[in-house]
Every structure is written in structure tokens, then in C-alpha cells.
Amino acid sequence: MLQVKYDRDQILHVIENVTKKTLDMDLTWDWPGGVAYYGVSRAYQTTGNQEILDRLVKWADEYIELGLPSWTVNTCAMGHVLITLYEETGDQKYWDIVLSKVDYLQNHAPRFGDNVLQHTVSVSNDFPEQAWADTLFMAAFFLLRVGSKLKDEAMIQDALNQYYWHIKYLQDPSSSLWYHGYNNINKDHMSGFYWGRANAWGAYTMSQVKPQLNDWYLYPQCMDVECALRDQLAALKLVQTENGLWRTVLDDEDSYEEVSASAGIAAAMINNGNPLHTKYVQKALEGILNNISEDGRVLGVSGGTAVMKDRDGYRNIPKDWIQGWGQGLALAFLSDMLR
């Protein structure tokens, strides 16, 4: 069991500040909001603060009234908070939207190979036959949550199939670190870098599989997830910086430290529960807290990142602005710390 030392009141204070700042942002119905409000919903579940739920409801209702965008893999990220809103309010309209996202992913979203979801950011065929680590958070984890709630075996199997093939496509067997993307047409990893946030998407969502499935050991794919996460975290601890963070290109000492990746990776270590990771989580906690301002801005978060052409493409992504995914992953990490 992890033995991390922390001040509970301090963590709650930081969660309060980050949540307030996040809810004050004008986030749209897309993946930045999806990750941000997932984190906010985790903060609500951790603190029980009714004001958080009320503000989430107000935001969602206003957006629903204005009209929702077309579904893509990225816009399906908003499904996470809708699950929480339905569970907490019982309002059927939230669940109906959840199910419409599920219908899109199962019946309309582009797929390739062994029924693998292609990563889509718009209604165009953005990245033909490409698998990105991002898809695990935006779609596979979402499908797993819904399938588990409904006890829908076909949906659970579809979600686990996404995990299985993303592991096969993106985890390097020699290093156990994850590539950003895979191009099935060219059969390559494009630029072939170990992008930090890709490793966070992979590690965090894999760490959520067991909690979603009571009888996880009855699903053979879960054994792949368990082993993939075990090996990935063992490799990630070796590239943690002295500041307790991980770089935007993990094995590149000239790449900057990136806080959203660090939060996702550290949260995965908490959820995995290996006591040997205690010192790495302890360092990460200090490093992440040092990058959260008093007014709740999570600092040092890289902008939205496609699979870049070269190393400099990743190194030069700006990190001067607060981002929804930085806020959300930090909240998920801090909430997991207190659970």
C-alpha cells in the first residue's frame, strides 16, 4: 500500500481553488471541457460540495439549450461528466446524450483493423486509420464506464478491445513506454516519440479498468491491461525528473517538464497501488503542487498536440496558458490522493 505523506486540508484547499478556476473558464463541448469537467466531477465526488454540482448542471443545461456539436471521438469526452450528472440528478436528458455518444462510437465512428476506433477531432476523416493514445480517455474509458453501469457485456468487450489494440499499437515492447500514435496504413509510429501526455492517457485509463469491473479477472484482456500498466509504470519511474515531474518527450532531457502528463502518470501510480511507487508519487505531489497557483491555475501544461513531425515539434508546443486538460488531470490526481 502506498504511504504518501500529505496535508489533507492543504489538498482540499488546492482542489477548491483549481475547481473554481476551471468552472470560471469558458470551455466548449469538446475534449478540453471533457477532461476538465471529468476532473471537476471527481472533485465533487471527493468534497461533496453541492455548489460544484450546481455549476456543472448550469453549464451543461445552457450548452444543451444552445445546441450540441456533432459527435467525434474528442467530443465524446464530455460523456464522462454526463454520467456523473445523471447519477447525481436522475435527469434522463443527460443519460440520453450519453447513449447517443455510445451509439456514435459503436455504430458510426470510423474504425480500422480489428474494430479499432480511429482518432477523430472533427467530422472530417482527420487522421485515416490512426490510433492515438488520447482515444483511450475520450472513448474507451467512457465506453467501459457505461458498459459497466449497464452490465452490457458487448459494450465492455468493445471497450476492452480498444485497450488491447491500443496497447499493441502504442506500447514499445523494448522500453514499455508509449508512443503518441500509430498509422495503420504505413504500419509505423510516425515521428515515433514517447510523448508524455500519451503515456498519461494510457497509464491513467488502464489504472481505471479494475475499478470499473468487479470480476475483472474473468476478462482475458484485463490481464493484458494489468501487465501493460505494470511495465509502463516501472519504466516511467526511471524518467521522472528531480522535480518530481515528467517531460513532454519522456526520454529527452532538453524537453520541458509538463504538468498534465505528470498528474495523469502520478494518478495512475496511486490507482495501481504498488508500494514501491510511494517515493515517486511523493515527489510528483510536491512537483505538481509547486505548479499550481494560488488562484487555481495549473501551470506548465502544453497546448493541444497532434502527432508532431519531429522532436522540435514537441519541444516547441507552448505551455504558457492554462488548459482544460491540465486542470482536469490535476483534479483527478488530487482527488485520487484523498480517496
CB 119 within 8 A of CB 181: yes
Question: Could you give the CA distance from residue 77 to residue 259 in angstroms, rounded to a whole number?
Answer: 20
Check 9, 61, 126, 134 and give the catalytic one. Answer: 134
Contacts of 92 by beta carbon, 8 Å cutoff, 6+ apart: 86
Is 54 a known active-site residue? Answer: no
Grid coordinates in use for 13?
Answer: 484547499
Closest CA to 195 of 270, 286, 260, 128: 260
Question: Could you give the CA distance from residue 269 to residue 241 in angstroms, rounded to a whole number?
Answer: 16
- Helix then strand then coil, in percent of the chain rounded to 5, is 60, 5, 35
Q: How many CB atoms lie within 10 A of CB 101?
A: 24
In one letter, which amino acid is 133? A
CA 303 to chain centre: 15
CB 263 within 8 A of CB 203: no
Closest CA to 109 of 142, 67, 148: 142
Question: Which run of H or of E encompasses 182?
Answer: strand 181-183
Question: Could you give the CA distance from residue 135 to residue 141 in angstroms, rounded to a whole number?
Answer: 9
Q: Which residues are catalytic?
A: 134
